[in-house]
Structures are given as C-alpha cells and as structure tokens.
Amino acid sequence: MKFGVVRFPGSCDDDDALHAAARVGDAVMLWHRDRDLQGVDAVIVPGGFSYGDYLRAGAIARFAPVMEEVAEFALAGGLVLGICNGFQVLCEAGLLPGALLPNASLRFVCRQVSLSVVDADSPFTSRCEPGDRLSIPVKHTTGRYYAPGPVRVLLRYAPGENPNGSQDDIAGVCNEQGNIFGLMPHPEHAVDPLTGSDDGLAIFESMRACVAGGVGA
C-alpha cells in the first residue's frame, strides 16, 4: 500500500499526513508542480493554507498541475482523502459536493472533538462501526460545510460538538461512489496515544484494507 501526500506552497500538515500514512503503509510526498503520481494507491490532500488561501480557501490549489492528475486518478476510482484545506480543495475542484464557509463564530477553532461514524460502508470508515465515536482534533477558520442538496455523510460531529456551525453537524462527506472523502477534522494528528488519541488511524487502516482488497471498495 503506497500513499501519496500532496504538498502545496502553504501546506502545513503534509508531514503529519506522511507520518500517519507511514504507520499503515508506504508514503511519498507529491510536489504540486509534478504530474507524476508515482504509482500511489491513494492520495492525501493535506491541511494547511495552500497558496495562502487567497481568494477562497482551496480556490487556487485546484489548478495545480498535480491536481489535474489527482482528479483523473479520483475519477478512475482511486482513493482520495482531503483533510481540512484538502477538503476545501476537493470541494472547489468539484470532486466533492458542497463548499466550506467561514465558521459561524468567525473564530479559529482548535480543539479535540468527538465524531460519530454515520456510514461505515466506505473505503475510509470500513474499520469502524456505525455509531462509533472518534476523538480527533479540528483546527480551522473556514470549516462550516454547506451543500444545497443531499450528500453522503460519513462522519458527523457528536451532539453538542459542532465547532463551526456546519449543516446537520456534518464533519466529513464522500462522493456517491465512495472513493473520494473530505473532512475538516485531522485524523493525521490522532495516530498516537502520546498526543491524546489514536482514533484517526482507523481512517488510514480502512484505506489500507480497501486497497488490499478488503471491504468497502
């Protein structure tokens, strides 16, 4: 299993994503100007402030050369995980439905939140059970998810935990086929009990199980 982590100018969680992925498989960094995905089995678009978040978060990053390849990879069924800014990029690129708006509080939020697994029948949540609680941190200013139509929700903030005012407490959504997943919380920051929780590993382990021919594909 080989993960590729995209690095944009302004990415800041790329190293943590690489570290998290390396806990369950091989992991390589993909430079934003490269078009070679190096034969990876899954792509992670990490958190941060790609291209300074100019105009709108994620609006510029989606035109990076590597994103053309990622889009092609995703449309061919490849696994793509967008975390925080990566989620914003995937929405701006039209790979996921909806958009991320400024937090209802207008404040940067940084805290551990409890997430509820809504749909465990996906390549990203197959190692969970519906109703499982995951303790994973959020840290963002533009995380209020909004979609005008129905979407496939994999994770919600547990009751009372919504940090940004997102619609229906949505924390993470995937496309209809289930191979593209975006979420605001940071599973890559929750892979070691030393830092409070390793619940985020379930996401990466699910992806590995999917690539290995397991459930949820």
Partner 1 sequence: MRARVLVRPKQGILDPQGQAVERALPALGFAGVRNVHVGRLIELDVEDPAQLPKMCERLLVNPLIEDYQIVEPADDSIGRSAGAQLPGPGGGGGG
**Number of chain residues interacting with partner 1 (CB under 8 A):** 17
Q: Is 188 a catalytic residue?
A: yes
Q: Which C-beta is closer to partner 1: that of 96 or that of 120?
A: 96
3-state secondary structure of 182: strand
Work out whether 106 is an interface residue with partner 1 (CB under 8 A). yes
Contact 161, 114 (CB under 8 A): yes
Total residue count of the chain as it appears in this document: 217
Residues with Cβ within 8 Å of 15's Cβ and at least 6 positions away in sequence, in order, are none
Nearer to partner 1, 26 or 63 (CB): 63
Q: Assess 166 for contact with partner 1 (CB under 8 A).
A: no
CA distance 19 to 74: 22
Q: Does 91 qualify as catalytic in the annotation?
A: no
User: Can you tell me the distance from the alpha carbon of 103 to that of 116, in angstroms, rounded to the nearest whole number?
Assistant: 20
Residue 119 in the binding site for partner 1 (CB under 8 A): no
- In angstroms, give the least distance from the CB of 73 to partner 1: 22
Give the binding range for partner 1 (CB under 8 A) out of 72-80, 104-112, 177-185, 191-199: 104-112
Q: Is residue 144 involved in binding partner 1 (CB under 8 A)?
A: yes
Catalytic residue among 84, 91, 128, 210: 84
201 CB-side CA count, 13 A: 13
Which of 2, 9, 28, 102 lies at the binding interface for partner 1 (CB under 8 A)?
102
The interface mask with partner 1, positions 38-77, x = CB under 8 A, is: -----------------xx--x---x--------------
Assess contact for 109 and 186: CB atoms under 8 A.
Answer: no
Crossing angle (nearest 10°) for helices 201-211 and 14-22:
60
Handedness of CA 69, 75, 81, 84 (dihedral sign): positive
Catalytic positions: 84, 186, 188
Binding stretches for partner 1 (CB under 8 A): 55-56, 59, 63, 92, 98-99, 101-106, 144, 146, 148, 165
